[in-house]
Chain A
Amino acid sequence: MRRPFGVHVLVKVVMMKELTLLLKIFVHLLSLLVSSCAQHTSNHAVIVSSSRYWFNYRHNANALTIYQFLKENGFRDENIILMLADEYAVNPRNVFKNRILTTPEGPSLYDASTEVDYRGEDVTVSNLVHALTGHHTAGLPVLNTDEKSNILIYLTGHGGDQFFKFQDVEEIMTQHLSAVFQQMHAAKRYHEILFVADTCQAFTLGDAFISPNITVIGSSLRKESSYAHHADENLGLSVIERYTYAFHEFLRNKDNTNWGKMTLRQAMVDPFPFEQQRAHIGISDKLAVRKADQVVMSDFWVNKHIPSKRHTKDVVAYPIDYEMPRFSLEAYQRATGIDYRASEKQQKAKDDHANAQPTHSLIEGADPSDGVFLLLTVLLFGMAILAGFLL
C-alpha cells in the first residue's frame, strides 16, 4: 500500500532531523575528545585548609604537605592559591615555634617561602568561590586560568555528607561546588580538574558534579570517617591525616617517582587499602573524558614548566637558627633622605599644643595626696560614722 505524500515527506523530515541531531552529538563528542586530548599548557592548584583552633593542627599540616610537594615539583606561588584558616606556626601552644612539623626530626612544612594567600577569616566559602571563578576580591589573589589549564583542588578539614565546613561558621555543599564548576566550564576556565578531598565522607562532595572533565578523589566514602595518622607527644595532638600522609610517603618513595607514567589510580587510590586507611578511597571519573587510569600524575602534580627542586632561588629554606635582619631606621633615612620621625615630631607638637591648652573637663582629677581629696574622704567617712552613732 502506498503511503500518502504528506507522510512520506514527514518521514523524510524526521529522518533528517535525527541525522542532524546525531551529527551534532558526534561533533560535540569529537570536540570534547580533541580538547581532552589536547595538551594542557599550565597547572594550577587550590589548596584549602578550612579548620580553626589548635586541635585541628593536622588539617593545616595536610594542606602544607600538598603545598610543599607541589613547590618541589615546580609549581610557582603564582599558580597556587593556598588558604589556611588558622595560624599554627605561631600559636602559643606550639612548642616548635614558627614551625609546622609532622615528625620531630622532619623539615618544617612552614618556612619563609610559604606564601599563604588567604589566611584566617579570609578563608570563607565566598572567597573560595571568587578565587575559583576569578572574580577579584579586593587584594586577594584568584586563579588566572584558561581553557588549557589543569587545576588541582585539594580540600582538607571537617566534612560530612555532601558538605565541607568552613571555620565552624558555614558550609559549602556539593551543589554549590557543582554550580561553581559549571560556571568555570562556561567561562572556559579549566581544561581538567582533579578534585581531591581529605575529610570525613569526602567522596560525597562530588555527588552533584555535572561539569565535564572533573575527576573526584575522596579519602572516605559516605558514612566513613577519615582518620589521623599519628600524634606528636610534644604537641599533644594529631599532626596529619592518614590519606595525605600515606599519599605523600608513597610519592616520596624513590621507586614511585615516574610520574610521567604513573596514573592517578595507581598513585592516589590503589596503594591505600581499607586496612590501612580504615576507609575506602573513592574515585569518580565518570565526567572525565580521560579516565583515572589514563591520566598520569604529572598532568596535575607536576608543573607544566621544567620541574625544579625545593631549594631553588625561589624557595628559601628556613633554618632553625635563622635570625631576622633588623631594620635600621637610621640606615633607611640615610638611604632615602626621608625624615621618618617627621610624623612623630608632628604628633609630639600636637600633644604639646593640646597639653598647653586649658582642658575643658569639669573636674580635672587630683592626686591621692591632695589636701582637698583627703578632707573630703575624712568628711565622708566621719559623717557616716557619726550618723551611725545617731541612728
Chain B
Amino acid sequence: MFGETTAQMSERSEQTSFLRSPSTSCATVLRCLCVFGLLLPSEWLPWIYSRAVQSTLIDDIFTLGHVLEALAIRQLVPPHSFASTYEGHTIHLPPLLLALFQPVSRLSESQQHTTVGLCLIVVDLLIAWTLERLGKFVVQQRKTEWEDKLQEQVPEAIQPKLSHIFEVTKESNAVVNSATIPLLMAQLYYWSPITLLTSNVFVCYQNIPVLFSLIGLINASQGSLIWGALSLVLASYINVHHALFVVPSVILIRERRKSVVVFLISFLSLASAMQALSLYLVGTSEFLLIAYASHIWTFQFQGIEPSLSTLWYFGMEMFDRFSMYFTVLMGGAPYLLVIPLWIRLYRYPEAMIALFWLLGTVFRPPATLYSLNVAFCLLLLSSKSLARLRVIPSLIAVSSFSIPVALYVVNTWLWLDTGSGEANFMFFQCLVYNAFVAIIFVQFVAACLRRDKALRLTEKLSYMGDVPEKSKQN
C-alpha cells in the first residue's frame, strides 16, 4: 500500500467495490461482536452506556425501549387496541413502523437485542453500499461535460485552491478523486465508530429512513420513478424531513428526461396510501391525534430529551412567551431555505443532497453525531465544491466540533448523574456544537456558490470570447 502512486491507488479502488473489500468483512465481524456483547460490553466500558454519551448518538424514539414501552402502554390502557398505544402522548413512532416491530415483542430480551442488532448490520451494509452507488453515479457516471469543459477554461485567478486535495477535473491528480470517492463514502460510514455504536451497541434504528432516502435518490438517478417515489415516501413517513429529498430527486429525474409529474403524483399517491393504511390501523377517531404525535410533534418544544440539538437548547433557554416564535423559527427555517437553494444550485443536485441533510442536522431534533457522520459522507459527493472551501474556517469547524461534544458529555454527566455542575455549561456546549455545524453548512454553501459563480463567469467570458486559451493564461 505504501509507495503507491495516486493513479495506482485509483486503479486499485476501481477494481475493489465496497462489498468485496476485506475491510468490509472486518467491520462486519466487529459489528457482529458488538451485537453479541463480546466487544464493548457494559462491564468494561460503562461510561459508553451513560445517558450523556447515548444522548449524543441516538434518537430515543427509534430504540427498542420505545417500542417495548409502546407495547406496555397498549397492554395497560383499555380497550387495549392498537390506538391505545398512543394514549398519554408518550409514543411518537408512526403506526406502521410500530406495527413492523410488533413481532419482536414475542422474543426474549436478549433475542430482541440480537435480532434487531443483526438486522441493523444489514441496514448499515445497505446504506454503505447505496452510498457507494450514489457516489459512483454522481462522480463517475453522471454527465457533466458542460462543467468539465468550463472548468478547463476557468481563469487561473478563480481556480479552486484545494484542487490538489479534491478532484476538480479528471486530469488533476487529487488525493480524493472520482475513483476513490465512492469507496471512501461507504467506508466513512461503515467503519465509523459512531454508526457502529449507534446501530450495533445501542440498537437504534434511526438509520432506516436514511436507507430509504438513499435508495430513493439512487432510483431517481436511474430514472425509476415509482421505486424512487416509494422509497422517499417510506423515508418521509418515518421522518418528515426526508421529504426534502424530493427536490434533488426531481432534478435527477429531469436529467434523465423522465416525467417529473409522474414521479410527484406517485409520491403523493403512495404517501396518501401509507396514511390510509395508518388510518385503517388506528381508526378514524384517533387518527389525527396519532398523525400529529407521529409526524408533527417534533416541531414543538414538547417531550424533548437532552441532546445536542438546537431545538433542545432553545427549548430550555427560551422564555415561555417566546415559544411560538421559536417554534416557527426552528420549524420553518430549514424549509425556508429550500427554494433559494434550489434556485441557486439546481445544477448541482449532489450539493443539494448534502445541504438538505445538513439543514436537518442543524434544525431538526434530535441532532446526533450519527446525522453529522452521514452529512460528512454526503459532502464527499461534491468534491468540486469542497475544492473551493475556505481552509481556515472549515478546518476549524471540522476539527473542533468534537471538543464541545466531549464537554457536553462531561457536563451532562455532572449535571444529571452526579447532581452537581451547572446546567448552563451543558447548554453552552450544545450551542457551540451547533455553531460549528452551522459553520460547516455555511462554508459549504459558500463553496458551492463560488463554484457556480466561477463557472458562470467563465461561461459568460467564453460567450464574449474573452477567455484566452489555457496555455496563454498567466
Report which A residues bind B (CB closer than 8 A): 54-55, 93, 95, 168-169, 233-234, 236-237, 351, 355, 359, 361-369, 372-373, 376-377, 380-381, 384-385, 387-388, 391
Most buried by A among B266, B285, B415: B285
Contact between B226 and A361, CB atoms less than 8 A apart: no
Contact between B224 and A365, CB atoms less than 8 A apart: no
Flag whether B227 is at the interface (Cβ < 8 A).
Answer: yes
The 4 closest A-B pairs by CB, nearest first: A365-B283, A368-B99, A388-B226, A388-B227
What are 21 of the A-B contact pairs (CB < 8 Å)?
Answer: A93-B415, A93-B423, A95-B419, A168-B319, A236-B421, A351-B78, A359-B285, A361-B283, A362-B284, A366-B82, A373-B277, A373-B280, A377-B96, A377-B277, A380-B270, A384-B227, A385-B230, A391-B224, A391-B225, A391-B226, A391-B262
In the complex formed, the residue of B with least CB distance to A233 is B420
Which chain A residues lie closer than 8 Å to B424 at the CB level? 55
| Distance, CA A361 to CA B279, complexed state (A) | 11
Tell me which of A237, A362, A367, A380 contacts B82 (CB under 8 A). A367
In the complex formed, the residue of B with least CB distance to A367 is B82
Flag whether B273 is at the interface (Cβ < 8 A).
Answer: yes
In the complex formed, the residue of B with least CB distance to A390 is B226
In the complex formed, the residue of B with least CB distance to A95 is B419
Contact between B283 and A363, CB atoms less than 8 A apart: yes
Which chain B residues lie closer than 8 Å to A237 at the CB level? 422
In the complex formed, the residue of A with least CB distance to B279 is A363
Contact between A380 and B273, CB atoms less than 8 A apart: yes
Q: Main secondary structure on chain B at its contact with chain A?
A: helix
| Distance, CA A377 to CA B230, complexed state (A) | 13
| Distance, CA A365 to CA B286, complexed state (A) | 9
> What is the CB-to-nearest-CB distance from B261 to chain A, in angstroms, rounded to a whole number?
12
Flag whether B79 is at the interface (Cβ < 8 A).
Answer: yes
| Distance, CA A168 to CA B279, complexed state (A) | 45
| Distance, CA A370 to CA B131, complexed state (A) | 37
| Distance, CA A93 to CA B427, complexed state (A) | 14
> What is the CB-to-nearest-CB distance from A244 to chain B, in angstroms, rounded to a whole number?
23
Flag whether B282 is at the interface (Cβ < 8 A).
Answer: yes
| Distance, CA A391 to CA B230, complexed state (A) | 13
Contact between A368 and B285, CB atoms less than 8 A apart: no
Per-residue interface assignment for chain B, residues 229 to 245, with 1 indicating a CB less than 8 Å from any chain A CB and 0 otherwise:
01000000000000000
Flag whether B321 is at the interface (Cβ < 8 A).
Answer: yes
Within 8 A of A (CB), among B262-299: 262, 266, 270, 273-274, 277, 279-286
In the complex formed, the residue of A with least CB distance to B223 is A391
Which chain B residues lie closer than 8 Å to A365 at the CB level? 81-83, 280-283, 285-286
Most buried by B among A95, A233, A365: A365
> What is the CB-to-nearest-CB distance from B88 to chain A, in angstroms, rounded to a whole number?
17
| Contact A169 to B321, CB < 8 A, known contacts A365-B81, A365-B83, A388-B226 | yes
Flag whether B16 is at the interface (Cβ < 8 A).
Answer: no
Which chain B residues lie closer than 8 Å to A368 at the CB level? 82, 99, 102, 281
> What is the CB-to-nearest-CB distance from B379 to chain A, in angstroms, rounded to a whole number?
30
Contact between A373 and B281, CB atoms less than 8 A apart: yes
| Distance, CA A380 to CA B227, complexed state (A) | 12
| Distance, CA A377 to CA B234, complexed state (A) | 13
Tell me which of A54, A361, A366 contacts B285 (CB under 8 A). A361
Contact between A384 and B284, CB atoms less than 8 A apart: no
Which chain A residues lie closer than 8 Å to B284 at the CB level? 361-363
In the complex formed, the residue of B with least CB distance to A365 is B283
Per-residue interface assignment for chain B, residues 411 to 452, with 1 indicating a CB less than 8 Å from any chain A CB and 0 otherwise:
000010001111110000000000000000000000000000
Which chain B residues lie closer than 8 Å to A95 at the CB level? 419-420
Contact between A388 and B224, CB atoms less than 8 A apart: yes
In the complex formed, the residue of B with least CB distance to A93 is B423
Contact between A387 and B226, CB atoms less than 8 A apart: yes
In the complex formed, the residue of B with least CB distance to A387 is B226
Which chain A residues lie closer than 8 Å to B83 at the CB level? 365
In the complex formed, the residue of B with least CB distance to A236 is B422
Known A365-B82, A373-B99, A377-B277; 10 more pairs at CB < 8 Å: A54-B423, A168-B319, A237-B422, A361-B285, A365-B83, A377-B96, A384-B227, A385-B227, A387-B266, A388-B230
